[in-house]
Amino acid sequence: MSRLALLSVSDKTGLVELAKALVESFDFEIVSSGGTANAIAAADLPVTKVSDYTGSPEILGGRVKTLHPRIHGGILGRPALPSDAEDMAANNIRTFDLVVVNLYPFEQTIAKPDVTLPEAIEQIDIGGPTLIRAAAKNHAFVTVLCHPEQYPLYLQQMTDHEGEVTPGFQQDCARQAFWHTATYDQAIATYLSGADAEAEIDTATELPQRWTMTGLQRQQLRYGENPHQPATWYQTGNVSSGWAAAELVQGKPLSYNNLVDLEAARRIIAEFPPQVPAAAVLKHTNPCGAAQGESLAEAYQKAFDADSVSAFGGIVALNRPIDGDTATAMTQTFLECIVAPGCDDEAKAVLAKKGNLRVLLLADLLSGPAQAPRAIAGGFLVQETDNIEDDPSGWEIVTEQKPDADTLEELLFAWRLVKHVKSNAILVTNNRTTLGVGAGQMNRVGAAKIALDQAGKNAQGAVLASDGFFPFDDSVRTAAAAGIRAIVQPGGSKRDPDSIKAANELGLVMAMTGIRHFLH
């Protein structure tokens, strides 16, 4: 008797080729449902519809079609167990050797703008996960495939082992199947956790929340932060978004540190929409230079000149497609990576002269993760990312001296950047260019000293941003002595009056944002 395969897939990639090989090379009969059956029949291949096989019609608009004893008995039955064999014979149940199922496109549906809750609910697959889990549980007797990428591997197994597959292959497929359903259920639970606008949730009966994250392995990296640390890149969500969607135009594969730095660079450049050209140069996730300019080449050169020593071996992010002039400027020094939303042909030809330089094109540099997890012993922490929009109209100008429009814009430029500097953080800028960066210091006075020393004489007439409040007025006085004209800081210290008094004595502008931007 021919062997039996159940095929029911949403993603029909490779479906016809698989069905053809099963029928013509390995003597399978195919049972299928809905659009899968139609696609197989359209290819002139024999197929039995699930409703014909079970003798029960699809009902409830297709919601119930595979939930039937002839289907699940054939998947879960253990032919080697006499009691199972007896039950199957008594109920006219044949064994399925192969189950090929993937699920309704729930994640693709909820990614659409303005999707409604009822639309999302209809993309919650019921029969599919049940089939996958049943076959995965009984993988000693059934092979389950849930990704088109597995089809060639299965057919190769069948060819190499005279129409059989190895137990190890079946177990590996079962493992992948359970990951497939787990990821699917996680996406649904996560969506429903944020989709309660249309229904009241009784928090009195709500169980403690769970937060999980799963990803599909994209690349085994050479190592992590250091050569002795193994590392892997996993992609979450839609594979056409985030860094997985970036095109590596040239250069070696990305490393762990490259990806960490690139994400930090993306977060900075996302602060500057492409209406005004902007560039950022990073080293170890901190900006060593960032600037806006009349052209992209000017913005890059200003950012590079802000700290040309640290820029050596750095990461560059641009908010506009790379042109020839900018490419020429960037090839004058050693850089690790460049990321931009595009690159013209002239620029590609210029950059190609630096063969080891990694050049990535990522059309969407603005979109990032909504939440940021961090591992701790015995668990992890999750916070929303610091994506609050900084609006100077909500700031309080606490000094007698008030900023003019240009000074306010300069303070906003500095404030947008200081949130991306490791705390304690102090940033000095002028003419929309960083002049000094004090990053990751144990006290704010030390961070201010580093930033002001780096700015040097250019601090005269510049502005200063602090990611946290000043606990004393010493940093205000140090800034004024260096020539700083205006300061932006969150405020909130019980000694704020001391800082304000010092600023007034010294003729400074001071803006308090009411928002803190620590980055640990």
Report the DSSP beta bridge partners of residue 49. 32
pLDDT at 130: 87
Percent of the chain scoring above 70 in pLDDT? 94
Q: What is the pLDDT of residues 115-155, one digit of tens each?
A: 777 777 777 777 788 899 999 999 999 999 999 999 999 99
Given a contact cutoff of 8 angstroms between Cβ atoms, the answer to whether 297 and 323 are in contact is: yes
Set out the domains of the chain in order of their start, with CATH numbers.
Answer: 3-193 (3.40.50.1380), 239-361 (3.40.140.20), 394-512 (3.40.140.20)
CA distance linking residue 373 with residue 384, whole number of Å: 9
Contact criterion met (CB below 8 Å) for 297 and 329: yes
Banded pLDDT at 93 (limits 50, 70, 90) = confident
In 350-445, the DSSP E strands lie at 358-361, 371-376, 379-384, 396-397, 426-430, 433-438
Output the six-digit token pair for 175. Answer: 């493992």
Give the tens place of pLDDT for each residue, 66-76: 678 888 888 88
Q: How confident is the model at residue 199 (pLDDT cuts 50, 70, 90)?
A: very low
Q: Within the chain, what is the greatest distance between any pair of CA atoms?
A: 97
Task: Give the mean pLDDT of 252-262.
Answer: 94
- pLDDT band of 202, cuts 50, 70, 90: low
Report pLDDT for 365.
Answer: 92
Q: Which residue has the tokens 């901190």?
A: 286
Distance CA 21, CA 296 (A): 55
Residue 306 — φ and ψ, nearest 5°? Answer: -60, -35
What is the chain's mean pLDDT, rounded? 89
Provide the annotated active-site residues.
Answer: 137, 284
Label the pairing between strands 335-340 and 314-318.
parallel
Q: Residue 495: is its pLDDT beyond 90? A: yes
Query: Is residue 425 a contact partner of residue 449, using CB atoms and an 8 Å limit?
Result: no
Query: Lowest mean pLDDT: which of 234-238, 448-452, 481-485?
Result: 234-238
What's the rounded mean pLDDT across residues 274-298?
A: 95
The pLDDT score that the predictor gives to residue 239 is 62
- Cα 265 to chain center, whole Å? 14
Closest by Cα among 286, 22, 12, 42 to 157: 22
pLDDT at 206 over 70: no
